Amino acid sequence: MEIRPCRVYRAKVPCKIAAGYYNDRQVIHVNDSFVCYIGPSVPAGSHRKCLLQNFRSWAGEDVTDRMPQAGWMRWGSDSTKKVAT
């Protein structure tokens, strides 16, 4: 899967974070080695960085087109979600 800036990705095995949202991540920068991202579990005004290969291992799908107009998607509100059994 191609990892692109401004796109939102969901984990292969999504989970609910404490705030009641999916643990989605929006990429703000990507290069050959690293990905910088924000998400509902990242404190406002900051970002996290990880190895590109680790992000690819974590990411299950691009959910950008299913995101609400503003904010993050609440846990359970995505009727097309993939849930591990």
Segment 18-28, tens digit of pLDDT = 889 999 999 99
Q: How far is it, in rounded angstroms, from Cα 66 to Cα 52?
A: 23
pTM value > 0.75: yes
| Residue range 42-81, pLDDT digits in tens | 999 999 999 999 999 999 999 999 999 889 999 988 866 5
Higher pLDDT pick, 31 / 80? 31
